[in-house]
Amino acid sequence: MNTNTIERSLSRFQFPKLAAVALGGLLLAGCAGNPPNEQFAVTESAVRSAVSAGGTEFAAVEMRAAQEKWKQAEMAMQKENYDEARKLAEQAEWDARVAERKAQAAKAQKAVEDANQGIQDLREESMRGMQ
């Protein structure tokens, strides 16, 4: 096999790879210029769910972080800084999800404590009845 044949074989395989890389780069660049409307909808839903779950009461720090990042994301969106808006909206979503889970865990813990107290009250009442 001579050198020209090897070079032609390599160029035949490299061109599609280079074209794919270039196309991928263009697609990523195109996405960066679009408003993150879908992410904003997801984030808004996550923040509302966290508030409904009691995030402001049981996970105040996480909830405050989510709301602050959400406001920053909205400001970045108004300035058409879509990359920053998307990043902040994603962070706000995850902070809200943490707040929601923390609130759910706190409520579950309170329910366990209430149930244990109820059991203790029943035991004490049954012991009084035996005397």
CA distance 18 to 14: 6
CA distance 66 to 109: 23
What pLDDT, on the 0 to 100 scale, is given for residue 39?
Answer: 97
Q: Would the pTM count as exceeding 0.75?
A: no
CA distance 50 to 60: 10
Whether CATH 3.10.20.90 fits 38-130 = no
Domain ranges of the chain: 1-32, 38-130
pLDDT along the chain (131 residues), means of 10: 52 51 47 86 97 96 97 97 98 98 95 94 85 68
CA distance 123 to 33: 66
